């Protein structure tokens, strides 16, 4: 009698405890991206603490509880390594149980296959199997296949709440390509509450909205400014916008519901909203579920500057922590303390500028509240130890509530002048003095010209 896919499914169906028996001391274990990370499998792995040593776990935004970290405060049995920090990753980094792996996001699949320690076991949370035998990676498809192609074992954790997302490429896996299947308890997916923009963030968003026009193809990062832009676009007269992004957030949902996104003017993936992973509300996950207009790709496609550059009128909008007067951008650390990661920011900074009529915006409030008072985000030089996420040679436009500074084609004194003009007024004079001492200020600069 011919065996069916259902027969193969039953043969590969095991408990979480049985599945993690393939992990042995010294292994490198890779988890799926973000909300596709291992949950019950990580909990089962934590239960094997006494049997295992030196297990290295790789993740990218560990959105689910880190049971293995909690079970092993010494880090002798389980140690995590993250391509990009989420909130839980930051906690365990502070506790000395997790390290950051530097990367440019579009290079992640290549690094996984060619440069990393080989993946011994790959674990990922997926949607239930469809009638063709495929499991969808749902809200996280950036580099799963790169890990699968190098792994000794592939284990799926089924969650009925995972959306079935169409592709694209490398957005799903077939039953024949799987070693073990675990049916989980179907917990709700982690959500990312949409940050309510402040009045200052709305002002920053308004500067960017003034530079948008019909047919722009938009990439948004995370935070209050993207949410403000989504709301403003939804209320605007803009139309026929396109979407090509790494991260699909609730701002896109707002724009979609308002009828602002059609993708009709995109040169590639026309009429499709393209993304690599989603992180947001329950409503967002419902929207991307089985939606032919929203498709997932691996990150070496979505973030590849060569691909991005082929999309005319591309607009990239991201945030940062601080900028220095040379135009160097730090978006991932506070001094030496890692708080997020490079992610795809540099990918889109470079790709957007190469797009015909493309624009890349790096956004920040001009100040923040420090322990001893208001601190300027525009500094003479970056905080000692701060990581340069975007080199000065790549940065295009920097935005605060006071306006937009275009860095391209400017000498060092012109850059300093443009940045000081969008700094908080309270800090402009001191920034001028610092610029003078660094020999990047001209006495006859625009600021001093009658």
CA distance 221 to 268: 21
Active-site choice (40, 157, 171, 246): 246
For 239, the enclosing helix (H) or strand (E) is: none
| 172 & 313 share domain | no
Residue 318 DSSP SS3: strand
Query: Model confidence at 225, in pLDDT bands (50, 70, 90)?
Result: confident
Other residues' Cβ atoms within 10 Å of the Cβ of residue 336: 10
CATH for 167 = 3.40.1080.10
Q: What is the mean pLDDT of residues 76-96?
A: 96
Whether 321 contacts 377, CB under 8 Å: yes
| 254 & 328 share domain | yes
| 175 & 213 share domain | no
Query: Model confidence at 446, in pLDDT bands (50, 70, 90)?
Result: low
Tokens matching residue 166: 């169409």
| 164 & 224 share domain | no
| 98 & 146 share domain | yes
CA distance 370 to 292: 46
CATH for 223 = 3.40.1080.20
Query: Model confidence at 450, in pLDDT bands (50, 70, 90)?
Result: very low
Q: What pLDDT is stored for residue 3 in this prediction?
A: 83
Closest Cα partner for 215 from 314, 337, 362?
A: 314
Alpha helices in 321-387 (DSSP H): 345-354
| 238 & 126 share domain | no
Does the pLDDT of residue 442 top 80, yes or no?
Answer: yes
Q: What pLDDT is stored for residue 449 in this prediction?
A: 42
Other residues' Cβ atoms within 10 Å of the Cβ of residue 240: 15
Last residue of a domain, one of 153, 183, 213: 183
Q: What is the mean pLDDT of residues 369-395?
A: 96
Does residue 3 sit within a domain?
no
Q: What is the mean pLDDT of residues 62-87?
A: 97
| 146 & 213 share domain | no
Tokens matching residue 285: 């996950």
Q: What pLDDT is stored for residue 278 in this prediction?
A: 97
Does the pLDDT of residue 323 top 80, yes or no?
Answer: yes
Does residue 1 sit within a domain?
no
Other residues' Cβ atoms within 10 Å of the Cβ of residue 2: 4
- Looking at the chain, the whole-number percentage of residues with pLDDT higher than 70 is 98
How many distinct structural domains can be found in the chain?
Answer: 2
Other residues' Cβ atoms within 10 Å of the Cβ of residue 270: 11
- Known catalytic residue: 171? no
Query: Model confidence at 223, in pLDDT bands (50, 70, 90)?
Result: confident
| 162 & 210 share domain | no
Residue-range definition of the domain harbouring residue 364: 199-448
Summary mean pLDDT of the chain:
95
What DSSP line would sit under 121-145, residue for residue? Answer: EEEEEEPPP-TTSEEE-TTB-SSHH
CA distance 387 to 330: 6
Does residue 48 sit within a domain?
yes
Whether 209 contacts 260, CB under 8 Å: no
CA distance 46 to 305: 39
Q: What pLDDT is stored for residue 179 in this prediction?
A: 98
């Amino acid at each position: 009698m011919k065996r069916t896919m259902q027969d193969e499914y039953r043969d590969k169906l095991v408990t979480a405890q049985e599945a993690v028996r393939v992990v042995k001391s010294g292994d490198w274990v890779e988890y799926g991206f973000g909300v596709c990370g291992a949950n019950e499998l990580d909990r089962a792995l934590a239960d094997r603490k006494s049997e295992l040593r030196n297990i290295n776990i790789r993740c990218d935004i560990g959105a689910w509880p880190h049971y293995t970290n909690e079970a092993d405060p010494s880090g002798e049995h389980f140690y995590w390594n993250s391509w990009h920090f989420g909130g839980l990753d930051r906690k365990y980094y502070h506790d000395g149980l997790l390290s950051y792996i530097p990367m440019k996001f579009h290079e992640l699949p290549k690094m996984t296959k060619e440069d990393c320690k080989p993946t011994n076991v790959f674990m990922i949370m997926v949607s239930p199997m469809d009638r063709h035998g495929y499991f969808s990676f749902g809200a996280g498809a950036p580099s799963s296949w790169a890990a699968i192609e190098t792994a000794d074992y592939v284990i799926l954790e089924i969650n009925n709440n995972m959306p079935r997302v169409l592709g694209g490429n490398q957005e799903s896996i077939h039953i024949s390509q799987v070693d073990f299947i675990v049916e989980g308890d179907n917990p709700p997916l982690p959500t990312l509450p949409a940050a309510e923009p402040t009045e200052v963030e709305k002002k920053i968003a308004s500067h960017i909205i003034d530079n948008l026009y019909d047919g722009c193809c938009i990439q948004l990062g995370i935070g209050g400014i993207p949410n403000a832009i989504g709301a403003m676009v939804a209320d605007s007269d803009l139309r026929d916008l396109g979407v090509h992004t790494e991260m699909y957030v609730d701002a896109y949902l707002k724009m979609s519901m308002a009828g602002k996104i059609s993708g009709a003017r995109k040169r590639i993936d026309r009429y499709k909203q393209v993304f690599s992973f989603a992180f947001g509300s329950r409503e967002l996950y419902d929207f991307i579920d089985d939606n032919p207009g929203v498709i997932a790709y691996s990150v070496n496609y979505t973030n590849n500057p060569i691909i991005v550059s082929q999309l005319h009128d591309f607009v990239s909008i991201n945030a940062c922590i601080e900028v220095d007067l040379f135009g160097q951008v730090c978006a991932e650390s506070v001094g030496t303390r890692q708080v997020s990661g490079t992610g795809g920011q540099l990918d889109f900074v470079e790709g957007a500028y190469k797009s015909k009529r493309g624009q890349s915006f790096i956004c920040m409030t001009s100040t923040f509240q420090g322990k001893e008072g208001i601190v300027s985000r525009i500094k003479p030089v970056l905080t000692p130890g701060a990581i340069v996420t975007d080199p000065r040679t790549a940065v295009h436009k920097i935005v605060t509530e006071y306006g937009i500074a275009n860095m391209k084609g400017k000498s060092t004194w012109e850059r300093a002048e443009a940045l000081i003009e969008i700094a908080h007024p309270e800090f402009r004079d001191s920034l001028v003095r610092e610029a003078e001492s660094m020999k990047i200020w001209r006495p006859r600069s625009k600021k001093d010209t009658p």
